[in-house]
Amino acid sequence: MGAAIPSGKAIDCITRLRARAQAGLRAFSGPLLVLAVLLFVVGGWYSFRQLDIAPDELQPIPLALLVATGPITLLYSGIGLYLMSRSVGTAMPLPRSVTLSTYANLAEALPVPGGAIVRTGALVASGAGLKSSSILVVLSAVLWIAIACLGCGLALVAHGHPAAFPLSGIGFCGSGLATGWLVARAGWKNALLTLGHRIAGMIIISARLHLAFLVMGQALPLADALPFALANVAGSAASIAPSGLGISELLAAGVASTVAVAPAAAFLAVGVDRLIALASSGLYVLVAMAVSGRNGTKP
pLDDT in tens, 87-99: 888 878 999 999 9
Confidence of residue 264 (pLDDT cuts 50, 70, 90): confident
Confidence of residue 58 (pLDDT cuts 50, 70, 90): confident
Q: What pLDDT shows up at residue 153?
A: 93
Position 246 pLDDT exceeds 60: yes
Q: What pLDDT shows up at residue 119?
A: 86
User: Mean of the pLDDT values across residues 80-92?
Assistant: 89
- Alpha-carbon gap, residue 34 to 32, rounded angstroms: 5
pLDDT in tens, 136-162: 888 888 899 999 999 999 999 988 889
Average model confidence (pLDDT) across the chain: 80
C-alpha to C-alpha distances, 155 to 194, 199, 249, nearest whole angstrom: 22, 14, 19
Q: What pLDDT shows up at residue 46?
A: 66
Position 49 pLDDT exceeds 80: no
What are the strands, taking DSSP E only, across 48-120?
Answer: none
C-beta atoms surrounding 57 within 10 Å: 11
Tell which wins on pLDDT, 223 or 289: 223
Position 295 pLDDT exceeds 90: no
pLDDT in tens, 95-129: 999 998 888 887 776 655 667 788 888 888 888 88
Report whether 149 contacts 176 (CB < 8 A).
Answer: no
In whole angstroms, what separates CA 205 from the centre of its chain?
A: 9
pLDDT in tens, 194-243: 999 999 999 999 999 999 999 988 888 888 999 999 888 877 765 444 55
Tell which wins on pLDDT, 203 or 33: 203
Q: What pLDDT shows up at residue 294?
A: 66
Given phi > 0 = left and psi -120 to 50 = alpha, else beta, which region is 54? Answer: beta
Predicted TM-score (pTM) of the model is 0.80
C-beta atoms surrounding 66 within 10 Å: 23
User: Mean of the pLDDT values across residues 250-273?
Assistant: 87
User: Mean of the pLDDT values across residues 177-188?
Assistant: 90
**H or E stretch at 124:** helix 114-125
